[in-house]
Amino acid sequence: MKFLIVTGLSGSGKSGAVNVLEDIGYYCIDNIPPQLIPKFADICLQSGGQMNKVAIVTDIRGLVTDSQGNALDELITGLDYLKRSGPDVSLLFLDASDETLIKRYKETRRKHPLDEKAKGSLQSAINMEREMLVRVRERSDYYIDTSDMPLSQLKDTVIDLFMENPDDRMSVKLMSFGFKYGMCREADLVFDVRCLPNPFYVRELKKHTGLDSCVRDYVMSFEQSRELDKKLKELIDFLLPLYRHEGKTQLVIAFGCTGGKHRSVTFAENIYNYLNDKNVKARIEHRDIEVGKL
């Protein structure tokens, strides 16, 4: 089991990092008290493999429970215990410059967790927190400075560090649907293939679908179908790296025809097989293929 503890300065981007971790398959929990971390890890270990990648956030709200800083000691003690007990445990510490943190707090107009202790001085609160977390930072396995780092770069950094195969950072979902049953609302890209000859009007093909070779062979027997297939593949090859660069974790590409059973299914299957051959993480769904079927 991979067990990741995420902590760092308030405003340094812990929430953004955890959102990315969740997108790449980690079970994430925010703001767990340090004294509960070893107990929670034991629960995860006993889950029978259902929770094999876990990320938890603990921050200054849970780390400073009293003036003696006992919670900080508990975090370090718990970290040592976990590293001896079995799971693959690591600590990610996020940081940022004072100037960046001040700018972020001014933009969000939120209070720093140590605002009362610092008597309303944001700079003093940041100084206090930085000093309190020195020992935690020294124990970190991974360190990310998010100063002047856009969200897309933070996503790339977290993915590169914690995703087993960074090329899988974005999954592609192929869908077919019928326009007569409504648009595909979740699609990022929609391609209308009603411009192609319709197998529905061929008696021996009407009750078949694009999952059957007879329909696929008919649809792809036309020059315009083959040319469209070629151009779609070229376009998708061009777009996928751009979406990955922008940090998108799932891209939904939908193909629509009149009833969602013949042409759209054929093209969704074509592109799905094409992406699989290129080792792109993809899955497929035919929304309306069973609609009206007796």
| Contact of 11 with 123, CB cutoff 8 Å | no
Say yes or no: 7 and 99 in one domain: yes
Boundary-marking domain end, from 122, 139, 165: 165
Say yes or no: 97 and 150 in one domain: yes
Say yes or no: 138 and 205 in one domain: no
Q: Tell whether the model's pLDDT for residue 133 goes beyond 80.
A: yes
Distance of alpha carbon 174 from alpha carbon 166, whole angstroms: 21
Output phi, psi for 133, to 5 deg.
-95, 10
Say yes or no: 22 and 136 in one domain: yes
Say yes or no: 179 and 282 in one domain: yes
- Tokens describing residue 288: 């309306």
Look at residue 294 and tell me if it is in a domain: no
pLDDT of residue 294: 46
pLDDT, tens digit, 9 for 90 and up, residues 16-60: 999 999 988 899 988 888 888 888 888 887 876 678 899 999 888
pLDDT, tens digit, 9 for 90 and up, residues 246-256: 767 789 999 99
Say yes or no: 101 and 19 in one domain: yes
Distance of alpha carbon 231 from alpha carbon 233, whole angstroms: 5
At 264, the amino acid letter reads S
Say yes or no: 129 and 189 in one domain: no
Is residue 174 within a helix (H) or strand (E), and if so which, with residue range? strand 171-178
Percent of the chain predicted with pLDDT > 70: 93
Look at residue 147 and tell me if it is in a domain: yes
Distance of alpha carbon 285 from alpha carbon 129, whole angstroms: 49
Say whether pTM exceeds 0.95. no
pLDDT, tens digit, 9 for 90 and up, residues 168-224: 667 899 999 999 999 988 899 999 999 999 999 999 999 999 999 999 999 999 999
Q: How many domains does one find in the chain?
A: 2
Q: Can you give the residue range of the structural domain that contains 208?
A: 170-286
| Contact of 209 with 264, CB cutoff 8 Å | no
Owner of token pair 């925010």: 30
Say yes or no: 214 and 135 in one domain: no
Output phi, psi for 91, to 5 deg.
-120, 125
Say yes or no: 174 and 274 in one domain: yes
| Contact of 205 with 199, CB cutoff 8 Å | yes
Say yes or no: 136 and 183 in one domain: no
- For residue 253, the cross-strand partners are 174, 189
